[in-house]
Amino acid sequence: MKTALIIVDIQNDYFLQGKWELVGMYPAAQNAKNLLEAFREKGCPIFHIQHVAKDPNAPFFVEGTEGVEIHKLVQPIGNEKVVLKEFANSFRDTSLLDDLHGAGVKRVVICGGMTQNCIDSTTRAAFDLGFECVVVHDACATRNLVFYGHIIPALEVHCAFMAALDFAYAKVVPTISAIALIESN
């Protein structure tokens, strides 16, 4: 089964000193780098998703800033496609679906940030569009959330969303299992 890697929004603003730091972003990006290297080695299709906010008042990923740039750990090279997006769902108003179909992809391996937003919406959309989905939980990150004054720690947010995706939309695995999956192709 032809498998593609989709790296979602691993951009500078999500790291220390960025405008919207995620808890555990650096270790997640290290794992994404390991995935990226394995996919490159196998010659599998790779898609980098880059969120670009056109509104200069957006809280992060503002067009033309250092924060919007893809982080150095997962920089695209060669013919790796960069898909620009403005919404959480990486398929909405982008070329991603056509790109995946054009590459003959049937299964997608998804990682990046933020777990409860772009990873969740992209995975659910991919599933609804007929792709077999794998989400690499230790290559994703999020941040603490607040709901009616209650602080939900990032780890709880992450685990809740990963459990929901694993229940109905994707196989949720650690990096090592995702790498083994593509090495067995």
In this predicted model, what pLDDT tens digit does every residue of 27-50 receive, in sequence order?
999 999 999 999 999 999 999 999
d(CA 95, CA 85): 9
**What was the pLDDT predicted at 40?**
97
In the chain, DSSP assigns E strands to 3-8, 46-51, 81-85, 107-113, 132-141, 145-147, 150-152, 171-173
**What was the pLDDT predicted at 182?**
84
**In the chain, pLDDT over 70 holds for what percent of residues?**
99
- pLDDT of 1 over the 90 cut: no
**The residue type at 109:** V
**What was the pLDDT predicted at 44?**
96
**What was the pLDDT predicted at 15?**
98
Overall average pLDDT of the 42-62 stretch? 97
Q: What is the mean pLDDT of the chain?
A: 97
**What was the pLDDT predicted at 25?**
98
In this predicted model, what pLDDT tens digit does every residue of 119-150 receive, in sequence order?
999 999 999 999 999 999 999 999 999 999 99
Structure-block tokens of residue 184: 């067995």
* Domain CATH code at residue 85: 3.40.50.850
For the chain, report the end-to-end CA distance as a whole number of angstroms. Answer: 7
- pLDDT of 184 over the 80 cut: no
The structural domain count of the chain equals 1
Structure-block tokens of residue 127: 């599933």
Assign 14 a pLDDT band (cuts: 50, 70, 90). Answer: very high
Residue 20 domain boundaries:
3-183
